[in-house]
Structure 1
Amino acid sequence: MFSAVVMSVRIFGKRSTSRMINFDWIVTVAIGTLMASGVLLADVTIIKGAAAIYALLILQWALTKIMINSDIATTSVKSEPTLLLHRGQLLAGAMHKERLNEAEIPAAIRTAGYSRVRDVQWVILETNS
């Protein structure tokens, strides 16, 4: 199973296991689940597990190819960035929409290396952060 996953990442590229958008993250988690099923469950053979992983990656590859050429597909799958803080002011509506509380923003700012909220111009929540 490990060899199948390593080969699939080489064939389908880095995006297959990176967290680019929510859909890519879901694929990454599903690959882990399929790999575990192939290793731990007696009724799931390595061939079946590997086939499921390759099928999932083919679907991901096809969707990303469609997204390159279709704005409708891109907006359906990928979420837009959300501005949470603008020039030191928290944007309550945006935070509520993204289900964030006020304590999470200063924590993220400190993680980025800043000590004070007023030192930051913008905080933007993006899918690939």
Structure 2
Amino acid sequence: MPTVGALVSPFIDAAIMGLALIAFTRLSGLRSFSKMSGYDFAITVAMGSVLASVVVSKSTGPLAGIAALAALFVVQAGLSHLRVRSRDAQDAMDNAPLLIMQGREVLEDNLSAAKMTRADLMGKLREANVTHLDQVRAVVFEQTGDVSVLHGPAGGGLEDDLLDGVRDAV
């Protein structure tokens, strides 16, 4: 039978780790849990893994967890700084957004490259409240994996700047 201390310890560890996570997030800013790129997602998952390890493991204490979280925040800050300062680093870390639909035309090769089906695409159009394909200006598979649907009244245009940096945009 577990002792009371053994039952209470995970709660204390979770509280300590939660406070550390909040403190590090406040120090580093909102980007800590953003979904701007693949590395942001990977760091966020790693942070959750560290937190869970400390809470469920009897051998990993909160100090080791805090050190691991600090390391992840420092790595993320360093990579973010590098990404902002160097176009090569940005290109290496980020996927370029991909145009998957231009007006009514579905770009089949790009849809396939995004690992999306027509059913996925139609679902995203419905989520964006598109009621007629004539409303679609462009659909972009973003670097985060999200899908952006740019739409408006039939016959309307689209500012070129909105597709700046999007692969295969003309």
Q: Above 0.5 in TM-score? A: yes
Deviation at 1:42, TM superposition (A): 0.7
Residue 10 of structure 1: aligned partner: 26
In structure 2, the CA distance between the partners of 1:117 and 1:104, relative to structure 1 (3 Å rule), is farther
Aligned: 1:125 with 2:151 = no
Q: Deviations over 1:9-46 (max 9, x none)?
A: 00111101111111101111111111011111111110
User: Relative CO higher for 1 or 2, CA cutoff 8 Å, sep ≥ 6?
Assistant: 1
Return the alpha-carbon distance in structure 1 between the equivalents of residues 96 and 33 of structure 2: 21
Return the alpha-carbon distance in structure 2 between the equivalents of residues 91 and 118 of structure 1: 16
| Superposition TM-score, scaled by structure 1 size | 0.95
Return the alpha-carbon distance in structure 1 between the equivalents of residues 84 and 95 of structure 2: 15
Letter in 1 for 2:89: A
RMSD between aligned alpha carbons?
A: 1.0
Return the alpha-carbon distance in structure 2 between the equivalents of residues 117 and 16 of structure 1: 37
8 Å Cα contact 1:83-1:91 kept in structure 2: yes
Q: Deviations over 1:74-126 (max 9, x none)?
A: 00001111000011111011011111111111100111121233321110011
Residue 109 of structure 2: aligned partner: 93
Residue 9 of structure 2: aligned partner: none
Residue 76 of structure 1: aligned partner: 92
Secondary structure (helix, strand or coil) at the match of 2:121 reads helix
Letter in 2 for 1:3: L
| Superposition TM-score, scaled by structure 2 size | 0.73
Larger radius of gyration, structure 1 or 2? 2
1:64 pairs with 56, 80, 92, which one?
80
Return the alpha-carbon distance in structure 2 between the equivalents of residues 112 and 105 of structure 1: 11
Letter in 2 for 1:87: G
Return the alpha-carbon distance in structure 2 between the equivalents of residues 13 and 27 of structure 1: 14
Letter in 1 for 2:131: S
Name stretches of at least 5 consecutive residues in structure 1 with no aligned partner: none
Q: Deviations over 1:45-65 (max 9, x none)?
A: 101011101101101100111
Count residues in correspondence. 129
Secondary structure (helix, strand or coil) at the match of 1:123 reads strand
Return the alpha-carbon distance in structure 2 between the equivalents of residues 122 and 67 of structure 1: 27
Identity of aligned residues (%): 26
